[in-house]
Structure 1
Amino acid sequence: MTATDTRRGRWSLLARFAVLPGLARLLLLTQLAFNIGFYLVVPFLATHLADDLAMAGWAIGIVLGVRTFSQQGMFALGGALADRFGVRPTVLAGCSVRIAGFVVLAAAGDFATVLIGTVLIGFAAALFSPAVESALAVQGTELEERGVITRTELFGLFAVCGEVGAVTGPLLGAALLSVDFSLTCSVAAAVFAIILLAHARFLPRGPRAERRPLLAGWADIARNRTFLVFAAGYSAYLLSYNQLYLALPVELGRSGADWALGWMFALASGLVVFGQLPMAAWARTRLGAHRALPLGFGLLSLAFAAVAVLSPWALPEGLSLLPASVFVVLLTCGQMLAVPVAQDLVPRLAGGRNLGSYYGFLSSAGGLAVLVGSGVAGGLLDLAARPGPAAPVPWAVLAVLPAVGGLTLLALAKRYRNESRSH
């Protein structure tokens, strides 16, 4: 790929979507459809349990917690299954399990049945997500060698498709919820049935799976100390980005702007949809991994530091949204800069082997960081609930985590500097 082609491609990736090979388009559209189906239902689950099923708060908390664990915590297992049995059967199984989960949830009227449905929904993602990411990495490698698109940019386009689905799903879900929650679940099941049929028809079978132990990928990861350090550093991003759901509402409450939460999420989504592709191209072609990763994690750290500086005071009404807005913009820009580059590094750190296990382990490590870190952060954020001298403390602590993670990834990314700049 020439320098001219790269500059042109940076700004025309959406237009070039139509000329991508069929498998690449299928994987990208899969992410779009996955998120539409998922966000049709899950954002409204707590409201349904409380209002329609009259469940107690503790029961709702258990349901939501189990759903998160069955998804994030089981990614490592799903990735190992993809490596053992192949991408196609694992994706088809995941779609089937999610359809079953939505059907069970549509009919659920008691705690036990709801719990079964949510576990199925969560575990389904653990099956198909690592498989799709590993297939995308392989496709990205082939397309980069052919000069069609870089692997980093393909992951950037993958993120855009996911964000469009994450925006579209709740809008459709809100409209359907006005009719009936069971209808919402049924529509979500239908979306995944379409995905299942599309993958059964168009997803290639690939080479015959090797007859090797199921946990061979995990054993490879356990010996790969470089990747284990990488996963630990990268987990700081997942913990940081999760603060959109934990710390951001606290800041909006502190500034008396609770009403703006939806607008803040819309701002983050808009930034990803319109900024991810040029940001990923800039990171890949101009910065390289050795600069993009620390810069992206530096922006994550700066997002928390900015709120720490502004949180001790009650700002005038016209400026009350300034800390939250700066936080969302910096956090989202850091994500857009660092994540596609980090995902591009995974196949290199893995040596091109056991990609399902590697991507699954990366997600599970992040889920564990979110589980542990959010509990600590939640306790500290009580200090930030109102303006005062203690308000900056939780934000300052949260700023340290991505800074440390960024320094960790910087040390690893330097190893691949020459390779990254040569493509």
Structure 2
Amino acid sequence: MPFRHYRPETRTLLGAQLVFNLGFYAVVPFLAGAMGTDYGMDAAAIGLVLGARTFSQQGMFLAGGLLADRWGSRRAILTGCLVRILGYATLAAASDFTLFLLGAVLTGAGGALFSPALESQLSQADRPVDDGEPACGKKGKRSVFVWLAITGEIGAVLGPVLGSALLGWGFDAALAAGIAVFTAVTILLWYRLPAAAARGKAPQAEAENPGRTGARPALACLGDRRFVMFCVLAGVNMLAYNQLYFAVPVELGRRGLDGAWLGALFLLASALTLLLQLPAAAVAQRLGPGRTLSAGFVLLAAAFAVAATTSVHAGSSGTSLVPLAVTVAVLILGRMLLTPTILSLIPAFVPTEGPAPGRGAYFGLAATCGGIAVLVGNALLGWLLDLTDRHHWWPGTPWVPLVLLAVLAAAALPAVLRSHRTSRPTDTSATPSLSGRTPGRANG
């Protein structure tokens, strides 16, 4: 669906995602440098602070989703903005490790409250509006999560530019700009989001059927084995994307290439996302979600296969950046197919009783599984990298598990969707179709 055709509330949320990313990327990429250069902290302290920030966000996504279900999306989104403001203010006041750690945790917790609630609320735009057909299922209409990827990427591109421009005045200037950005977002959302945006008829539903409220329905996502399997397999997408931050820089170092080339690879990733996300969405619409997921993960496997077959031993000279550029390009193409499709499929697993029961928890669980995949996967990959260098194994060895995981996800996820579809034959009229198209035209 063209951006201008969405409801004002949906456009406001997409704009909030852009500005939220702008404020985040104007500060966090420069946090490690500020801690080391300005405050003289060692690598262990910096690593612990950055790890705590990531864990407090990824590890708390499920909790953030549960709170969004309990409070309503509007309240959770606004609270997430306020908590991130508090986190940035704590970082601005920090002069020792303890306050930096607290500020980083608060920054992550703000994201954990904001993102599941925003995704849950945005998913309403993919639900039936006038004619009973999901917006993402109508011919020529794209899922709202395609626009979420684009607006988020714009913020991710502009944020470091803003942060770099402000660093001339010191890290505190970047933090002040971040606080100003999040304050503006909070004020905008306070006035633009309807007070009952997420709750709807929930109180009435709870009064009529109190046995379905409380912790058990809120955590119903954990009891849905098919959805848990969907989240575990889909988490490979986040693990793959995280290699831009972990394995790709390691590979640059192995090739003896300057670390500045990493910025060029990130610029390539952002440019491809901004230029090709809409065409990729059109391809995904023609394929249907089952085939889109398979194609996306096959592309991830191909990207890692390129990295494996062109990898070199540490200290090699005369190597080229081209194989890594190809790896990044193919990985981003796969991600462009996968991320909007995965997000648009999550509501189809949510039970149809009530207005939107447990929807925030479902989005939160999916994000948490991705965070766990990154934590476990990177630990194993780091171990393999060390073993490969120590024992002089084939240099592509660390990439092989990533290839296998992507192939596994490509084969298994369509089967999970088919299994879920056949187990809930009466749900297609109330939730977005697992085909991403009109019910009855499934394309596994």
| TM-score, structure 2 as length reference | 0.86
Alpha-carbon distance, 1:395 to partner: 1.2
Q: Distance in 1 between matches of 2:61 and 2:301?
A: 27
Change (3 A) 1:107 1:144: farther
Kept in 1, the 8 Å contact 2:134–2:438? The answer is no
Contact 1:78 1:130 in 2 (8 A): yes
Shift in Å at residue 81 of structure 1? 0.4
For residue 374 of structure 2, the aligned residue among 370, 374, 377 is: 370
Match of 1:266 in 2: 267
> Match of 1:123?
109
Correspondence 1:33 to 2:37: no
- Opposite residue 163 of structure 1, the aligned amino acid is E
Identity %: 42
Paired AA for residue 422 in structure 1: T
* Distance (whole Å) between structure 1 residues aligned to residue 112 and residue 41 of structure 2: 27
* 1:182-220 C-alpha deviation (Å, 9 max, x unpaired): 111111011000110011101012226546755345531
Provide the residue aligned with 1:349 in structure 2: 349
Q: Distance in 1 between matches of 2:43 and 2:6?
A: 47
Partner of 2:424: none
CA RMSD for the aligned pairs?
2.4
Where in structure 2 are there 5+ consecutive unaligned residues? 422-432, 440-444
Please give the alpha-carbon distance, in whole angstroms, between the structure 2 residues aligned to 1:421 and 1:42.
39
Call closer, same or farther: CA 1:373–1:147 in 2, change over 3 Å. same
Match of 2:70 in 1: 84
Give the equivalent residue in structure 1 for 2:164: 174
In the alignment, what sits opposite 1:276?
277
Change in CA separation of 1:120 and 1:293 when aligned onto 2, cut-off 3 Å: same
- Answering whether residue 407 of structure 2 is matched by residue 403 of structure 1, we say yes
Deviations 1:71-107 (A, max 9, x none): 1000100000000110111111111111111111111
Q: Shift in Å at residue 340 of structure 1?
A: 1.0
**Which residue matches 2:436?**
420
TM-score normalized by the length of structure 1: 0.90
Query: Does the 8 Å CA contact 1:251/1:384 hold for their aligned counterparts?
Result: no
**1:375-394, CA deviations, whole angstroms, 9 ceiling, x for partnerless residues?**
110121246669x7610111
Is 1:346–1:359's contact at 8 Å kept on the other side of the alignment? Answer: yes
Partner of 1:6: none
Tell me, in whole angstroms, the C-alpha distance in 1 between the residues paired with 2:201 and 2:41. Answer: 47
Matches within 5 A, 1:234-383: 234-258=234-258, 259-284=260-285, 286-312=286-312, 317=318, 320-351=320-351, 353-382=357-386
Task: State whether residues 296 and 338 of structure 1, in contact with CA within 8 Å, keep that contact through their aligned partners in structure 2.
Answer: yes
After superposition, the Cα gap between the structure-2 partners of 1:144 and 1:396, relative to the gap in structure 1 and judged at 3 Å, is farther
* 1:272/1:145 CA distance change after superposition, 3 Å: farther
User: 1:318-342 deviations in whole A, cap 9, x for unaligned?
Assistant: x711210111011101100111111
- For the 8 Å contact 1:94–1:125, the answer to whether it is kept is yes
In the other structure, the counterpart of 2:186 is 196
Query: For residues 215-274 of structure 1, what are the alpha-carbon distances to aligned partners after superposition, in whole Å with 9 as ceiling and x for unaligned?
Result: 345531122111011011011111111111111112222222233111000000111111
Structure 2: distance between partners of 1:351 and 1:370: 28
| Paired residue secondary structure (1:90) | helix
Q: Structure 1 or 2: larger helix share? A: 1
Distance across 2 between alignment mates of 1:158 and 1:120:
24
Instruction: Return the alpha-carbon distance in structure 2 between the equivalents of residues 350 and 113 of structure 1.
Output: 39
Flag the 1:376–1:136 CA change in 2: closer, same or farther, 3 A. Answer: same
* Residue 414 (structure 1) shift: 3.2
CA distance in 2, matches of 1:316, 1:55: 33
Distance 2:157 2:77 in 1: 23
Q: Is residue 161 of structure 1 aligned with residue 151 of structure 2?
A: yes
Q: Distance in 2 between matches of 1:222 and 1:104?
A: 34
Tell me the SS of whatever aligns to 1:390. coil
Shift of the 29–217 alpha-carbon distance from structure 1 to 2, 3 Å rule, reads farther
1:113 Cα deviation from its structure 2 partner: 1.1
What one-letter code is carried by the residue in structure 2 that aligns with 1:266?
A: L
Please say if residues 229 and 408 of structure 1, whose CA atoms lie closer than 8 Å, have aligned partners that are also in contact: no
Separation of aligned partners in 2, 1:302 and 1:389: 21
Structure 1 counterpart of 2:343, which letter? Q
Q: Which moved more, 1:390-399 or 1:143-152?
A: 143-152
The aligned runs of 1:377-396 (5 Å cut-off) are 377-382=381-386, 390-396=394-400
Partner of 2:442: none
Offset of 1:20 from its aligned partner? 2.5
Counterpart in 2 of 1:21?
A: 7
Alpha-carbon distance between aligned partners in 2 of 1:70 and 1:156, rounded to the nearest angstrom: 26
Q: Which one is further off, 33-42 or 250-259?
A: 250-259
What is residue 430 of structure 2 aligned with on the other side? none
Distance 1:184-1:316 versus aligned 2 partners, 3 A rule: closer
